[in-house]
Amino acid sequence: MQNCGNHSMNRRRFLLGAATTAGFQLLNAHADAEVISARAVTPRKTARAAIFINLAGAPSHLDTFTPKDGPWNPPDADLREYPGGIVLSRTYFPELSKITNDLCILRSVSSWEAAHERGQFYLQTAHPSNPAFAVETPHIGSVICRELGRADQPLPPFLTFYSGGMQGSAFLGGRVAPLMPSPNRAGLATLEHNFYGATSQQRFERKFAMLEALDAPLRQNPFDPGMAAYASFYGTARNMMYNPEIAKVFRYTADDEGRYGNTNIGRALINARNAVQAKNGAVFINATMGGWDSHQQQFDRTYGGNLYQLNNQLDRALGALVEDLKASGDFQSTIIVAMGEFGRTPGPLNARGGRDHHKAAMMTLMLGGGVKGGQIIGDQSPDGATVVTPGWRGDRPIFMEDIASTLLSALGIDWTKGITDTPSGRKFEYIPYGLEGTYFPVDEVFA
């Protein structure tokens, strides 16, 4: 059994890392690469920012957002049906059960992958995992930020929290690389260096100007993409310093921390809320919640990381996020997506009281940002094994390519675009086969 939260080196990771390192020696970053599109499409443009909750380890669809009535449910599951056909456990999701009119649950989702590393790559990029092309396959957040990020804003457009194993911006460069701060109630200590008291900022400005002068030749002609990305990101980081508005994004109160559950996913979503409300540059915010690899004892309350704990933590944090975004008026302009890399085995639990990997059926939760709540899309067999009702115009299972297309459409981005002058000369498509119309947005999601 492999735990997705364990990032120890294995043969596949070594080969992928070696291929990536070797590839980077041959590539140059193309932050200004040419983009072409040959298809006339009209994005929905219902949102200005996205929060993606990566449920790493792959949650059980049957025991989260697509429950079915069966003997595998614990006696206290308390499944209830709400308008629109939504079924949730009041035990697992007491807060989300109060706002089912905001939830859109995609039940007809499948994955091409059933292994964590490959599944996470696919989840993060909407592209198949291929070591030969990894250096030219950026995270979907970097693609979004390439389209929507603004250089005149102080906050990097791509933020991510608790995110080991992130794909990053690949060849798109440092400007759209993810900033990965560690949530802390006091904020980021490195945003200011006040060793010299009142003259600290002035001294810093002088030293930074000297550094830029000395490094100018290397910045203009970097040795490799890593150096180019570093130089670009260094400048972005500089714009964040000694800026009280930026400092506020990464601070929060003890009351907030408690209301969001005093958990990692809670702290991540507090920071996501702050970044969205600040409106000073953040476009795509990823929050990773690990621990969903529930091969055993998933309903044993004495077992650390059981599904009662995981579901309750997600429920409390996401419920508080929605409440706060509604209060600030940002909910309808922020699309929120929550999903893992694949589903779990259907029907009765395995011999260890858990579920194993399963790619034929899974779930995706969407809300905010123009999403029509109070509905389900598609359905699965009674045991959760297969998709039996697609429930959308594609008339087939929904894949990550379709979900990523939906996300791009919500943000006003043409999902059929491709970048032609990549370092290798191989065209990079935002969505594989999006130009041909093989994959496309799930328009039924939108109001």
SS3 284: strand
Q: How many Å apart are CA 151 and CA 171, to the nearest integer?
A: 18
Residue 72 has pLDDT above 70, yes or no: yes
The answer to whether residues 64 and 363 touch, using CB atoms and an 8 Å cutoff, is yes
User: Nearest CA to 378 among 17, 182, 86, 180?
Assistant: 86
Report the SS3 class of residue 85.
helix
366, 360 Cβ separation under 8 angstroms: no
10 Å CB burial of residue 239 (0-12, 13-18, 19+) is middle
- Hey, what are 438's tokens? 């093989």
The helix/strand count (H/E) of the chain reads as 10, 16
Question: What single letter denotes the amino acid at residue 223?
Answer: F
Arithmetic mean of pLDDT, 211-224 = 81
Q: Which amino acid is at 111?
A: S
Asked if pLDDT for residue 259 goes beyond 90, the answer is: yes
- pLDDT at site 195: 84
In whole angstroms, what is the distance from residue 376 CA to residue 388 CA? 14
- pLDDT for position 233: 67
pLDDT at 264 over 90: yes
Task: Give me the sign of the Cα torsion angle 163, 167, 169, 170.
Answer: positive
Which position has the higher pLDDT, 30 or 272? 272
Buried b (16+ CB within 10 A) or exposed e, 161-182: bbbebbbbbbbbbbbbbbbebe
DSSP class of residue 191 equals: G
| Nearest one of 115, 114, 117 to 165, comparing CA atoms | 117
Per DSSP, the three-state class of 353 is strand
Q: Which of 28-37, 156-165, 313-322 has the lowest mean pLDDT?
A: 28-37
Ranking 217-221, 277-281, 326-330, 333-337 by mean pLDDT, the lowest is 217-221
Inter-CA distances, 56 with 59, 64, 142, 342, 354, Å: 8, 14, 19, 9, 16
Of the candidates 214, 245, 247, 243, the one whose C-alpha atom is nearest the C-alpha of residue 231 is: 214
Q: How far is CA 71 from CA 224, 236, 293, 312, 363, in A?
A: 57, 54, 21, 22, 21
Minimum mean pLDDT among 13-22, 110-119, 123-132: which range?
13-22
- DSSP-assigned states of every residue in 363-420: EEEEESTTB--SEEE-EE-TTS-SEEE--STT-S-B-HHHHHHHHHHHTT--TT-EE-
Query: Which pLDDT does position 13 carry in this prediction?
Result: 39
The one-letter code for the residue type at 211 is: L
Angle at 341 between CA 167 and CA 172, to 5 degrees: 20
Q: What does the DSSP 8-state code read for residue 178?
A: P
Percent of the chain with pLDDT over 90: 74
Domains within the chain, CATH numbers bracketed = 35-168+262-445 (3.40.720.10)
Q: What is the pLDDT of residue 237?
A: 77
Burial of 234 (0-12, 13-18, 19+ CB in 10 A): middle
Q: Is 329 left (phi over 0), alpha (psi -120 to 50) or beta?
A: left
Tell me the pairing of strands 158-161 and 284-288.
parallel
If DSSP codes are grouped into helix, strand and coil, which group holds residue 289?
coil
| Residue pair 334/50 in contact by the 8 Å Cβ criterion | yes
70: exposed, middle or buried (C-beta count within 10 Å: 0-12, 13-18, 19+)?
Answer: middle
Contact between residue 200 and residue 193 where contact means Cβ atoms under 8 Å apart: yes
Using the 8-state DSSP alphabet, how is residue 127 labeled?
Answer: S
Q: How many residues are recorded in the chain?
A: 447
Residue with the larger pLDDT of the pair 106 and 19 = 106
Q: Which residue has the higher pLDDT, 206 or 17?
A: 206
Q: With 0-12 CB in 10 A as exposed, 13-18 as middle and 19+ as buried, what is 217?
A: exposed
**pLDDT reading at 350 higher than 70:** yes
Pairing label, strands 343-344, 357-358: antiparallel
User: What pLDDT was estimated at residue 193?
Assistant: 81
Higher pLDDT, 237 or 127: 127
Cβ-contact 313, 263 below 8 angstroms: yes
**Distance of alpha carbon 339 from alpha carbon 362, whole angstroms:** 9
